[in-house]
Amino acid sequence: MTLKQIRYFQALCHNLNLRSCAKELNITQSALSLAISELEKSLNTLLFDRNAKFFSLNEKGRLFLKQVEPLMLELERIEKSMQNDQSYELNLKVSQNVGTYLLGSFLDQKTENIKLILSLDNTKNIIKAVLDKEVDIGLIEGICKDKDIKKIKICDDELIVVSNKDLKKAFFIDELSSFKWLTREHGSGAKEVFMSALPKDVRLNIAYELNSTAMIKELVKHGDFLAVLPQFSVKEELENKKLFQVRLKNFKISRELCLIYHKSKKPNEKFSKLCEFLKFCIQKDLA
């Protein structure tokens, strides 16, 4: 689900003629139809009843419109306030998973007055870059307790264990110790949280440590491996049954996604607005 799809949905709610609405949006009729279909697919429900070129909101559509309208009004307020500011440059370093899966809405909606210098890294290196004042903002998935860093919580997130087959039953985590595991590299926030959560007497059979979530997913799909990954990073694979969640007994791994900056930074109004906008967009992409 993207902000663009939601905006198209709102437009179609107010002009239920597909052709006329597409013309107002300055896009093709097929592009509008595809965007609505993809939105419905991501929500796993139909929002409109179709009749030739005319649409009518169904009950689910009316409920969704009621839920998203206040959020979109808030987004417009943030965007307008940012557009009134003079242009400025921002150096942003983000974790690989956040950068790959959760920045789409922010980058799509970012106003032109922001020059963004964006790079990907793991949580350990991002924290160091913030401490060394090499970047303005970091987005991390792991633990940060450094007293020289200010932290803004974006949301809670869950790590899950995945396999290329449905293992049917639920397991205690120690029952999986003999499986071959893939993990992220040392310094990864996801790995740090997972390893810290393991009971002290559990030793996993780690076959490979890799610095790419995409590579881990591909290896799990085509081999007999287990891996622990952010739930948002495997959403599509779970829906398409390319990967399966391994159910665990009495073991849940949650962590915070956080925005961090150096405590010596004195946030002005435009910096605070951008942090608010970034947080809002990530929360929307997680929805």
Domains 88-156+256-286 and 158-252 share a fold: yes
The residue ranges of DSSP E strands in 126-213, in sequence order, are 137-140, 149-163, 180-184, 205-210
User: In the predicted model, what is the mean pLDDT of the chain?
Assistant: 89
Tell me the pLDDT band of 18, cut-offs 50, 70 and 90: confident
Domain residue extents for the chain: 3-83, 88-156+256-286, 158-252
Q: What angle do CA 100, 102, 105 make, to 5 degrees?
A: 115
- For the range 231-236, what are the long-range contacts, defined as Cβ-Cβ under 8 Å and sequence gap of 24 or more? 231/157, 231/158, 231/159, 231/160, 232/97, 232/101, 232/102, 232/157, 232/285, 232/286, 233/97, 233/100, 233/101, 234/160, 234/162
Give the pLDDT of residue 284: 83
Tell me the pLDDT band of 136, cut-offs 50, 70 and 90: very high
pLDDT top residue among 245 and 286: 245
Nearest-angstrom CA–CA distance, 192 and 129: 18
Nearest-angstrom CA–CA distance, 287 and 261: 25
Whether the per-residue pLDDT at 159 is higher than 80: the answer is yes
Give the pLDDT of residue 38: 92
3-83 to CATH, choices 1.10.10.10, 3.40.50.2300, 3.40.630.10, 3.30.470.20: 1.10.10.10
Q: How large a percentage of the chain has pLDDT more than 90? A: 55
Task: Provide the β-strand partners of residue 149.
Answer: 262
Identity of the highest mean pLDDT range in 155-159, 215-219, 274-278? 215-219
Give Cα 5 distance to the centre of its chain: 16
Give the pLDDT of residue 268: 82
Give the pLDDT of residue 75: 80
Tell me the pLDDT band of 89, cut-offs 50, 70 and 90: confident
Mean pLDDT of 201-230: 94
For domain 158-252, give the CATH number. Answer: 3.40.190.290
Looking at domain 88-156+256-286, its CATH superfamily turns out to be Periplasmic binding protein-like II (3.40.190.10)
Identity of the highest mean pLDDT range in 79-88, 112-121, 215-224? 215-224
pLDDT top residue among 51 and 144: 144
